[in-house]
Amino acid sequence: MTRVAIIGAGSWGTAMAALLGGKGLDVALWARDPEAATTITTEHRNPRHLTDVVLPRRVTATSDVRAAIDGAEVVLIATPSHAVRAAAEAMRGALAPTTPVVSLAKGLERGTLMRMTEVLGEVLGNRERIAALSGPNHAEEVSVGIPSASVVAAYDEALGLRLREVFSAATFRVYTNPDVVGVEIAAATKNVIAVAAGMSDGLGFGDNTKATLMTRGLAEMARLGTRLGANPLTYMGLAGVGDLIATCTSRHSRNRALGEHVARGGTVESFAEQTHMVAEGAFACVAVDELGKRHGVEMPITHQVRGILYDGASVSSAADALMGREARDELHGMGLVDD
């Protein structure tokens, strides 16, 4: 393995370029902005994201998608979820039918409610070469070598093992999991719970509240995942509780920050204007809520987050609504007790 293409030069794409380039792989990073691509190649830094990180000399950048994937043995999709389909369509016809494609995006496609590997498979074909990487991986930490771990989920066992070797580094431990559905649903749903956790912070609530939101949020995540065929144990792993902890508690978390911003009177639009960042939970709350309705799964926290962000509900009224719900068995909806 010598050459990897990364489509998307945001924080996560840049962090992966630093990680993989640092272990000796040749990395071609696609950036939408030609000037940013030139700066990355000539000055070995990203002028817009993780600007203090010095990128290895093996990392080059281009604003031409087809040039980026030319000769690549693995392609990573590091765009926001709403841009994954466009990225795949830009590669179609120029990518060998067996070249592995790995989604780093954590979300569901708006409208179709498809997972990212489903989108990639639909556009590019050959589902067996599609995989997803997920876990408690803040770009700010991975990019500077702070010890982290992740999970690669692939439909094909041999591909999962191969990708584990590609991603594994001294400071980045990688596990495999065949449960692609569970890993991707966990990745999308935890972002919504993190927005709720941020709202709790914004209201000045305490540790009890956040712990409750995270625990009941995890149950909500697992209810939906298992209804869609996921292994419930996936939610006890890195893609589930691991990523949930990091996203709900970290100062680096965009989704937590969005929730706090909204609870203090801001909006999704003002957050984007101030931070110039994409908080996936802002989009995922609608898709996840709709997916829950489609499959008859209760998603009370997700539903309240959606109501706050888009339907004019207040954060305090949403908190009251959640606390006033009918009390049930803790394992309700998990298929483990009689409901």
What's the pLDDT band for 1 if we cut at 50, 70, 90?
low
Task: Report, as an integer, the average pLDDT of 17-24.
Answer: 98
**C-alpha separations of 32 from 64, 131, 190, 274, 294 in Å:** 8, 23, 28, 21, 35
Task: Report, as an integer, the average pLDDT of 52-59.
Answer: 98
Tell which residue, 253, 254, 303, has the closest CA to residue 274.
254
Same domain? For 189 and 288 the reply is yes
Q: Give residue-wise pLDDT tens across range 265-313.
A: 999 999 999 988 878 999 999 999 999 999 999 999 999 999 999 999 9
Residue 338 has pLDDT above 60, yes or no: no
The answer to whether residue 249 is domain-embedded is yes
Residue 35 has pLDDT above 80, yes or no: yes
What tokens were used for 21?
Answer: 């380039």
Task: Indicate the residue among 151, 178, 205 that finishes a domain.
Answer: 178
Cβ atoms of residues 188 and 288 within 8 Å: yes
Same domain? For 190 and 310 the reply is yes
Structural domain span for residue 247: 181-323
Q: What is the pLDDT at residue 290? A: 97
Residue 136 has pLDDT above 60, yes or no: yes
CATH number of the domain encompassing residue 197: 1.10.1040.10
Same domain? For 65 and 188 the reply is no
The answer to whether residue 339 is domain-embedded is no
Residues of the chain with pLDDT > 70, as a percent, come to 98
Q: What is the pLDDT at residue 330? A: 83
Same domain? For 168 and 274 the reply is no
Q: How far is CA 272 from the centre of its chain?
A: 17
Residues of the chain with pLDDT > 90, as a percent, come to 92
Task: Report, as an integer, the average pLDDT of 134-157.
Answer: 97
293 flagged as catalytic? no
- CA–CA separation, 319 vs 314, rounded Å? 9
Same domain? For 158 and 111 the reply is yes
Tell me how crowded residue 99 is: count the other CB atoms within 10 A of its CB. 16
Same domain? For 172 and 303 the reply is no
How many domains, in total, are found in the chain? 2
Same domain? For 40 and 105 the reply is yes
The answer to whether residue 215 is domain-embedded is yes
What's the pLDDT band for 2 if we cut at 50, 70, 90?
confident
Same domain? For 149 and 66 the reply is yes
Task: Indicate the residue among 146, 178, 210 that finishes a domain.
Answer: 178
Q: What is the pLDDT at residue 337? A: 52
Tell which residue, 136, 185, 195, has the closest CA to residue 288.
185
CATH number of the domain encompassing residue 71: 3.40.50.720
The answer to whether residue 338 is domain-embedded is no
Task: Report, as an integer, the average pLDDT of 69-74.
Answer: 97
Task: Indicate the residue among 178, 195, 223 that finishes a domain.
Answer: 178
The answer to whether residue 334 is domain-embedded is no
The answer to whether residue 188 is domain-embedded is yes
What's the pLDDT band for 38 if we cut at 50, 70, 90?
very high
Strand spans (E) along the chain: 3-7, 26-30, 59-62, 74-77, 101-103, 130-134, 148-154, 172-177
Residue 174 has pLDDT above 90, yes or no: yes
Cβ atoms of residues 282 and 266 within 8 Å: no
The answer to whether residue 132 is domain-embedded is yes
DSSP 47: S
Looking at per-residue confidence, does 277 or 195 come out higher? 195
The answer to whether residue 333 is domain-embedded is no
- CA–CA separation, 24 vs 91, rounded Å? 25
Task: Report, as an integer, the average pLDDT of 208-218.
Answer: 97
Same domain? For 206 and 280 the reply is yes
Q: What is the pLDDT at residue 335? A: 60
Same domain? For 137 and 14 the reply is yes
Same domain? For 155 and 53 the reply is yes
Tell me how crowded residue 113 is: count the other CB atoms within 10 A of its CB. 16
Tell which residue, 134, 136, 298, 315, has the closest CA to residue 216.
298
Which position among 106, 190, 210, 293 bears the catalytic label? 190
Residue 105 has pLDDT above 70, yes or no: yes
Same domain? For 239 and 272 the reply is yes
